[in-house]
């Protein structure tokens, strides 16, 4: 009985983590919509102009980041291939943190590393979480 209750609680925690991290990505993507890809590239270029990161890497990252944030937000919410979604989300957040280190924004970097740690927790809890499109569509397998 206690084991069943614990699994239900872990499922709830997992779903809440998905909503938390997905809302982070969704909010970040929505902010970028008004400036579009060109505005995001211009903003990133100004941030990283004095860093040692190659500008072509900065521009490539800036040109896809908004789309990746939307994709990751909806992927986490969907619950489909959740383990892979958590890994992809964690890697994205690590890339943000890594970039912030190069422009000496250590507070922002540490925030992103904490978000990446939440992705690790989400990955650990994903085995308890079958709530999402898979459940709605009738596919209960956990890959």
pLDDT of residue 3: 72
Q: Which of 104, 112, 2 is nearest to 52 (CA)?
A: 104
d(CA 22, CA 75): 8
Residue 11 contacts residue 128 (beta carbons within 8 Å): yes
SS3 helix, strand, coil % of the chain, rounded to 5?
Answer: 85, 0, 15
Output phi, psi for 51, to 5 deg.
-85, 170
Q: Measured between alpha carbons, how far is residue 97 from residues 9, 36, 48, 94 in Å? A: 30, 22, 13, 5
Given this model, what pLDDT does residue 1 score? 52
Reduced to 3 states (helix: H, G, I; strand: E, B; else coil), residue 138 is: coil
Res 8: pLDDT: 87
Output the tens digit of pLDDT for each of the chain's 143 residues: 577 668 889 999 999 999 999 999 999 999 999 999 999 999 999 999 999 999 999 999 999 999 999 999 999 999 999 999 999 999 999 999 999 999 999 999 999 999 999 999 999 999 998 888 766 676 555 54
- Between CA 37 and CA 76 the distance in angstroms is 23
Residue 131: the pLDDT is 85
């Amino acid at each position: 009985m206690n084991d069943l209750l614990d699994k239900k609680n872990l499922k709830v925690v997992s779903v809440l983590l998905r909503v938390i991290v997905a809302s982070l990505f969704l909010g970040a993507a929505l902010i970028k919509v008004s400036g579009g890809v060109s505005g995001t590239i211009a903003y990133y270029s100004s941030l990283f102009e004095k860093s040692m990161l190659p500008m072509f890497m900065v521009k490539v990252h800036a040109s896809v980041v908004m789309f990746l944030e939307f994709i990751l937000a909806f992927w986490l919410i969907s619950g489909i291939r959740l383990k892979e979604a958590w890994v992809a989300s964690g890697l994205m957040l690590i890339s943000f943190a890594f970039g912030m280190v190069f422009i000496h924004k250590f507070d922002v970097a540490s925030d992103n590393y904490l978000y990446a740690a939440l992705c690790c927790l989400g990955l650990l809890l994903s085995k308890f979480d079958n709530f999402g499109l898979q459940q709605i569509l009738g596919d209960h397998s956990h890959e």
